[in-house]
Amino acid sequence: MQNTRHDTVRFDLVIFDCDGVLVDSEVISCAAHAEMLNRHGYTITPDQVLERFLGVSDREARQTIEAELGRALPDDFDSQMKQATLRRYADELRAIPRIDEAIAAISLPKCVASSGTPEKIRHGLTCAGLHDRLAPHIFSASQVERGKPAPDLFLFAAGQMRAAPARCLVIEDSLPGIAAAVAAGMSVLGFHGGSHCRPGHGERLRAAGAAAIFDDMRQLPGLIGRIGTN
């Protein structure tokens, strides 16, 4: 006898982005980035960091800032910023509301694919109480040549989890992340419930290729069922 449910569900794997999807980290990261830049003579608010540099790689952001400053930031600026971010995580980082319930309600295999370093991902998920729910299936952009918006990380994660790209569903909150999922030939849902999301963000995710958008993790299991059986 055939397994009807398995035959009709389109997905074999759900791939979660980390920052802004599992952990509400973007506002904290922007505050740490602004703090370090001000300390080195570059005046900027956390909101301006969010506006100008969210989704931009650290290297590109640094080049822009150094061009405007007219001088180089210290060699150890990146590690100073990392330490400032990780310090704030311990006190301030929270899981995205209801993500634990959503993870529990999704019976498909799951993994994490994040632009962060392995240390940052592990620390963030641990602070939010999610690490042990998702380990060891956690992948970092440091394991591939090109980060998002290139498809490399999602394809790598799918390969490690032995899932065909066309049978993967990605959950993303950023435009480069949506672009990476589309380039990988995967379906993608756009989440716009993080503290950093401004009005109109969901519509931008949809325009970039999200099959559907949502702002409450309680919606996720139902959405997966709906788009997975179309």
Residue number with CB closer to Mg ion (28 or 73): 28
Residues between 6 and 65 that touch Mg ion (CB under 5 A):
17, 19-20
> Distance between CA 230 and CA 215 in Å, rounded?
22
Nearest to 12 by CA among 186, 227, 169, 211: 169
Q: Sketch the per residue contact string, 166 through 185, with Mg ion: x for CB under 5 A, - otherwise.
A: -------xx-----------
The whole-angstrom separation of Cα 148 and Cα 60 is 13
Cβ closest to Mg ion, residue 21 vs residue 84: 21
Residue 113 Cβ vs Mg ion, minimum distance, rounded to whole Å: 10
219 touches Mg ion (CB under 5 A): no
Number of residues that bind Mg ion (CB under 5 A): 5
Q: Evaluate whether 170 touches 17 at the Cβ level (below 8 Å).
A: yes
For residue 97, give both structure tokens: 């509301």
**Nearer to Mg ion among residue 124 and residue 165 (C-beta):** 124
Packing angle between helix 26-39 and helix 46-53, nearest 10 degrees?
Answer: 110
Least CB distance from residue 173 to Mg ion, whole Å?
A: 4
Interface positions with Mg ion (CB under 5 A): 17, 19-20, 173-174
